[in-house]
Structure 1
């Protein structure tokens, strides 16, 4: 009879330790690398970029201009009545972003 109580105590003790076991979750961090564009005056946009804009988007007007460390230009433009954001490198070549 004494063995029965000891066996029961071991079984219930085993259940208690299993229930008390913590579950570790792997935290996932999502890192978004944003490019730092600094606003510049429209007059500071290189001639190659403005020439490409006039050639490929006739009638477009630059509202705001930005540049990053890689000399890539972000242009907020108005084409007709639509607003658009265009990206170009310093040579006037369009970049898909």
Structure 2
């Protein structure tokens, strides 16, 4: 009888060890951000359509900096008081969501 109880305890103990969650499982997530290269341009180089869109869509703001990429897309940094915003447009003045 002692052997039967001892055998059952060993078997149940062995099964519970295998059911445990192994420690040290680390999952890593790598993310890659693809960003088009923008080069700074003078405010005078920004097309009139882009300036018009900014004035209509964001009244009472000032164009701080303008950047342009190879696809003729513009990254504009505008400010209203102490708040600063970044918007993206194409050469026709259409706002691009990024």
Q: One fold, TM greater than 0.5?
A: yes
Per-residue CA deviation, residues 56-80 of structure 1 (Å, 9 max, x unaligned), is 1111111100000110000011023
**Which residue is equivalent to 1:66?**
67
Q: Which residue of 2 aligns with 1:83?
A: 84
Q: Distance in 1 between matches of 2:32 and 2:85?
A: 27
TM-score, normalised to structure 1, is: 0.66
> Where do 5+ consecutive residues of structure 1 fail to align?
1-27
Q: Which aligned segments of 4 or more residues in structure 1 are displaced greater than 3 angstroms?
A: 28-32
Alignment CA distance shift 1:58-1:29 (3 Å): closer
Corresponding residue pairs, total: 70
TM-score by length of 2: 0.65
Deviation at 1:29, TM superposition (A): 7.0
Output the aligned Cα RMSD. Answer: 1.6
Q: Unpaired runs of 5+ in structure 2?
A: 1-28
